[in-house]
Structure 1
Amino acid sequence: MSATANGSGNISGTGTGNGVGSVAYGDPGESVAARLEKLRDARVVVTGGAGLVGSRLVALLRRADAEVTVLDRLDAYPESAHTSLFGVDDLGVKLVVGDVCDREAVRTVLADADYVVHAAAYADVAACTRRPDIAFRANVQGTQVVLEEAAASVVRRLVLVSSAAVYGDGDPSVQGPQVFREDQRLLPVSVYANSKLWAEHQTRLLLGGPDTPEYAVLRYFSVYGDPQIPKPGSHSWMVAWLSMQARLGRPMRLNGGGVQVRDLVHVEDVAAATALALIEERMAGETVNVGTGVPTSVREVGELIAPHFPESRFVTTPMPEGDPLGGCAATEHSRELLRWQPRIDVRAGVERYVRWLSATPHAVPGWLAAGPTA
């Protein structure tokens, strides 16, 4: 399987929707680019590095003059998104087409690595529910292989990409949207979430000793942003789903009426947070949310998209199994330990996505353009 469902990004923006490179995260005047100078000539392995977040991260690492190796199966999408949209062939990295369950492949790419980002996963709630066997192989067995090989290597730090899905619906005694804190009780409600929680625990078990590499765990909230595209049969990635349905002249489907709340965090901000987790000293052994702290309902997202497509309309559909009611991230730890905060708000990010989609009509997958899907 490939990475999380998440091309190349601009590092020279101001934080209003055009990039992350010159934006200060943490200390005033200290840019991401300046902080990532620590990675110059470092050897970084990114499993799942050909997906949306992975490829944005890889582009950021390359601009920091890191030597990057990507291990990815390149099969997360039915069409050539990895190359045509995410631009993995143009990133100047060593691309190894392989599986994290292949111990020899993992051992080979980690042989001289300084840092690892483990982002490869079967990263779709609906798909994991349909095929728990594939989820187990990719997210559990594959993670075990990566952790064992990292533990036996000279790697300095491994960053595990986890998910806000581990929070499930949060505290059942709390009504309405919740703020999810890293130290609260975790109650996953899906196969995908359960596999990510296992990966977190296993990372602590295998890399928590005095003679092992350091580790850091990042819980991504709802990642979005161009050039994200949907997967068949998925109900994730709502900005891409709703935007493409509206562009095709179809109703925007609001599962459960769109009352679910998500913390939408732009892919460029996520890439910056992930790169910083490799080098921030206080992140060693820590688990941190990667989100904005701002709750946005699915309906609100649709209402941001609708003005761009005057003929758009909404239709209510049933709530999918395992779809959490949602909430937003507590952000104190990300500001303090990671010295990071997101710079692209949801209004700017959605507008940017819609404009990208209008300028890139070939981005609509053929299977989606051919007709309605279940």
Structure 2
Amino acid sequence: MRVLVTGGAGFIGSEYVRMLLGRPGGDAAGVPGIEPTAVTVLDKLTYSGNLNNLAPVREDPRLRFVLGDICDAALVDEVVADHDVIVHFAAESHVDRSITGAVPFVTTNVLGTQTLLDAALRHGTHRFVHVSTDEVYGSIDEGSWTETWPLSPNSPYSAAKAGSDLLALAYHRTHGMDVVVTRCSNNYGPYQFPEKVIPLFVTNLLDGGTVPLYGDGGNVRDWLHVHDHCRGIAMVQEKGRAGEVYHIGGGTELTNKELTARLLAACDAGWDRVTPVADRKGHDRRYSLDITKIGEELGYVPSIDLERGLTQTVQWYRDNRAWWEPLKAGGTSAVAA
């Protein structure tokens, strides 16, 4: 099996690559049922793409890296031609950045996805796994979204992702392509770029700095370890039904204030290190995914509880300053949750 992973030098994509190749750093010895003969990473290496994320598998002869943009139709056509499966992670994904400038989000997330789908259609790709987010649903006060819930995105980022989801599913319905879509809750874990809330807070606290908390801190998120997310994607890649959407969640909901408390405790810091900031425009109050479908159909169950996952994640950032300090030097200050 020849697998193309777009955005495979990013946080989640690189975890998937490390997991596929069964090497240290992915916390897995390969993926049962998936035995890739070749794994190609197509990545533009924007600010959040990092070749160091692939260091644990760099010497694997099955790995090939291609520097390029998913909007480059000629390059995409050339790369897609040699692959059986596409797992599509590549996306602009930071809500705050989308609020200040939406063009890259629409360009990459919508047009880039369409470029990949066209190439996959031409070359008869066996399976197209489109990786998306719970943010396409908007906000929910109580209960949890099922896969049939109407999409109601509230940010330029989530609107662009919703558009890409609908395109992917349309290629299944129109052309009969073997497309599956996954939607996940908030990810955390090693190698996450320090603009996201957990690595931003942890690295700021480890450096003796302060952390910004949006609004009243009451926004609720379900937290999913990146390894569990990639396990779920692998299950969908292997056994998911074509044309279906599958939710992948972590099973632990926290307010941002509760999460902050856990991170402060993990870093031996107090509330004097927290700086309240004005709430984000259009900030969704609560996300919650129903993961019954993937559990019943594919056997997915989260394996890393939040307490263990956060402890391991904080320790990883303690031990890997050489990875994140150069990124922080670029002036990262945003927060997303």
Report 1:232-311 matches (<5 A).
237-280=196-239, 282-311=240-269
Report the residue type matching 2:111 in the other structure.
Q
Deviation at 1:91, TM superposition (A): 5.1
Contact 1:147 1:207 survives alignment (8 Å)? no
Q: 1:360 to 1:277 in 2, by over 3 A?
A: same
Contact 1:294 1:329 survives alignment (8 Å)? no
Deviation at 1:250, TM superposition (A): 1.8
In structure 2, what is the Cα distance between the partners aligned to 1:243 and 1:362?
15
Counterpart selection for 1:339 from 290, 296, 299: 299
Q: 1:215 to 1:370 in 2, by over 3 A?
A: closer
Runs of at least 4 residues off by over 3 Å: 88-92, 363-374
Deviation at 1:195, TM superposition (A): 0.8
Give the structure 1 partner of residue 92 of structure 2.
122
In structure 2, what is the Cα distance between the partners aligned to 1:279 and 1:134?
31
In structure 2, what is the Cα distance between the partners aligned to 1:143 and 1:162?
11
Is residue 2:21 matched to residue 1:62?
yes
Give the structure 2 partner of residue 190 of structure 1.
155
Deviation at 1:68, TM superposition (A): 0.7
Report 1:1-374 matches (<5 A).
42-63=1-22, 64=30, 65-66=35-36, 67-77=38-48, 82-87=50-55, 89-90=58-59, 92=61, 93-170=63-140, 174=141, 177-209=142-174, 212-231=176-195, 237-280=196-239, 282-313=240-271, 314-366=274-326, 368=328, 373=333
Percent identical among aligned pairs is: 28
Deviation at 1:345, TM superposition (A): 1.1
In structure 1, what is the Cα distance between the partners aligned to 2:112 and 2:128?
15
RMSD over aligned Cα atoms? 2.0
User: Mind listing any 5+ residue stretches in structure 2 that lack a counterpart?
Assistant: 23-29
Report the residue type matching 2:244 in the other structure.
E
Deviation at 1:279, TM superposition (A): 1.2
Deviation at 1:86, TM superposition (A): 4.4
Deviation at 1:315, TM superposition (A): 2.4
Deviation at 1:306, TM superposition (A): 1.5
- TM-score, normalised to structure 1, is 0.80
Deviation at 1:44, TM superposition (A): 0.7
Map Cα deviations across residues 139-171 of structure 1 (whole Å, 9 max, x no partner): 11111101111111121110101111101113x
In structure 2, what is the Cα distance between the partners aligned to 1:371 and 1:96?
28
Give the structure 2 partner of residue 36 of structure 1.
none
Report the residue type matching 1:358 in the other structure.
R
Map Cα deviations across residues 66-90 of structure 1 (whole Å, 9 max, x no partner): 111111111233xxx6123442744
In structure 2, what is the Cα distance between the partners aligned to 1:371 and 1:196?
27
In structure 1, what is the Cα distance between the partners aligned to 2:210 and 2:295?
39
Q: 1:241 to 1:257 in 2, by over 3 A?
A: farther
Contact 1:249 1:312 survives alignment (8 Å)? no
Q: 1:163 to 1:335 in 2, by over 3 A?
A: same
Q: Which moved more, 1:337-346 or 1:86-95?
A: 86-95
Report the residue type matching 1:68 in the other structure.
V
**Aligned residue pairs: how many?**
318
Map Cα deviations across residues 106-125 of structure 1 (whole Å, 9 max, x no partner): 11111121111111111111
Contact 2:232 2:248 survives alignment (8 Å)? yes
Give the structure 2 partner of residue 23 of structure 1.
none
Aligned-partner SS, 1:289:
strand
Aligned-partner SS, 1:46:
strand
In structure 2, what is the Cα distance between the partners aligned to 1:370 and 1:120?
22
Deviation at 1:333, TM superposition (A): 1.0
Aligned-partner SS, 2:45:
coil
Map Cα deviations across residues 326-364 of structure 1 (whole Å, 9 max, x no partner): 232111012023321211111111111111111122233
In structure 2, what is the Cα distance between the partners aligned to 1:307 and 1:129?
31
Contact 1:294 1:328 survives alignment (8 Å)? no
In structure 1, what is the Cα distance between the partners aligned to 2:222 and 2:128?
25
- TM-score, normalised to structure 2, is 0.88
Deviation at 1:370, TM superposition (A): 7.8
In structure 2, what is the Cα distance between the partners aligned to 1:327 and 1:97?
34
